[in-house]
C-alpha cells in the first residue's frame, strides 16, 4: 500500500467516525449509513485528487509483494564468515 492509498483509507475511516459520532449512530444499520457517508466523502476527495494530479492513487502494489522484492534484493551472507562450522 502506498502512502497515498493509506492517506485516503485513513480519510475514509476518520470521516466515517466523525459522521457516526455527530449522528450518534447506534446499531448496525445506523453505522452502515455513517460508513457509506464517510466513504463517499473520501471517494470524492480521491476523485478530486486523481483528476487534478492526473495520477491514479490505487495501485496493484501490496505489502506482500514489497516484502518479497526486498528479500530478493537482500545479499546472501558470505559463507567464508560462517562461524557455525
Give yes or no for a contact between 49 and 56, defined as CB atoms under 8 angstroms apart: no
- Whether residue 84 has pLDDT greater than 70: no
At 76, is the pLDDT very low, low, confident or very high (cuts 50, 70, 90)? low
d(CA 42, CA 7): 10
The average pLDDT across 3-31 equals: 95
Query: What pTM did the predictor assign?
Result: 0.67
Those residues with Cβ within 8 angstroms of residue 20's Cβ, 6 or more apart along the chain or in another chain = 30, 31, 34, 35, 38
Amino acid at each position: 500500500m502506498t502512502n497515498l492509498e493509506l492517506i485516503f483509507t485513513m480519510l475514509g475511516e476518520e470521516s466515517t467516525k466523525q459522521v457516526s459520532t455527530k449522528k450518534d449512530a447506534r446499531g448496525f444499520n445506523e453505522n452502515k449509513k455513517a460508513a457509506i457517508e464517510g466513504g463517499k466523502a473520501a471517494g470524492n476527495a480521491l476523485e478530486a485528487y486523481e483528476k487534478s494530479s492526473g495520477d491514479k492513487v490505487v495501485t496493484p502494489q501490496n505489502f506482500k509483494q514489497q516484502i518479497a522484492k526486498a528479500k530478493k534484493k537482500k545479499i546472501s551472507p558470505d559463507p567464508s564468515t560462517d562461524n557455525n562450522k
